[in-house]
Structure 1
């Protein structure tokens, strides 16, 4: 299996894989147009010339990026494909100097194993007001917000008492 940046030749397979899970209500759908416009954000897992996994890293702000559209073909589940894609995306975030990587997910155990932590959505205003406000699930979102803190993360320093 090869983990690499997506190319235009991968777009139709990526869209088909994402749509499979979107049809089940597990993720948002992506159009071919959207995938093409954001192609540079996507990483794929390829086996025997076929895309078996996909995930995107979308930069939201100077200190925040989001893992989007993470999907692994059902026959490849349990083989570490999703973990390898996420690790590649986390390395990319580190290389970009991003402090936090967000995932809105139903797969909390998967992300916990990769050192993501549950956070309140309200702590992510750049995501909520940039994307979430336009989502049809905005008022009844049931996804869990999880964040990975890269080596660039610096928690706010507590004010010194006088």
Structure 2
């Protein structure tokens, strides 16, 4: 399995993978147009020339980024595909000097294993919610907000020890 930045030839496969989870209400759908416009944000896992996983790192502010649209082929869950994608995105955030990486998720155990911590949604800046208005769960969101603190975070030690 190779984990790399997405290319334009990956877009249709990425969209189909994401749509599987959007169809059952686990994430927001992404259009081909949206994926193309934000292609530079996405990382894919590829095996035998097939996209088997995808996620994007979207910078929201100088100290905050979000992991979005994490989707792994359901037949390959438990093989570490998602972990490898997220680890690569966290390295990317570190290189960019981003202090905190956010995920709005239902997969809390997965993200806890990667050292993300649950935070109150109300503690997040409003800019985080700009895409949420397109979600049918906007007024009754049941996703959990989790944050990973990079070494660029001012309260790094306190956050890691809490």
TM, length-normalised to structure 2: 0.92
Which SS does the other structure have where 1:152 is aligned?
A: coil
Measured on the aligned residues, the alpha-carbon RMSD in Å equals 1.4
Which SS does the other structure have where 2:56 is aligned?
A: strand
Who wins on radius of gyration, i.e. which is larger?
1
For 1:47 and 1:53, how far apart are their aligned partners in 2? Answer: 9
1:121, 1:128 within 8 Å by CA — same for their partners in 2?
A: no
CA spacing shift, 1:61–1:126, aligned 2, 3 Å = farther
Q: Which residue of 1 aligns with 2:130?
A: 130
Which SS does the other structure have where 1:142 is aligned?
A: coil
Equivalent residues in 2 for 1:13-162 (5 A)? 13-133=13-133, 135-155=135-155
Report the count of equivalent residues: 156
1:60, 1:126 within 8 Å by CA — same for their partners in 2?
A: no
Point out where structure 1 has 5 or more consecutive residues left out of the alignment. Answer: 157-162
Which SS does the other structure have where 2:102 is aligned?
A: strand
CA spacing shift, 1:13–1:126, aligned 2, 3 Å = same
Point out where structure 2 has 5 or more consecutive residues left out of the alignment. Answer: 157-162
For 2:44 and 2:134, how far apart are their aligned partners in 1? Answer: 27
For 2:12 and 2:133, how far apart are their aligned partners in 1? Answer: 28
For 1:9 and 1:36, how far apart are their aligned partners in 2? Answer: 10
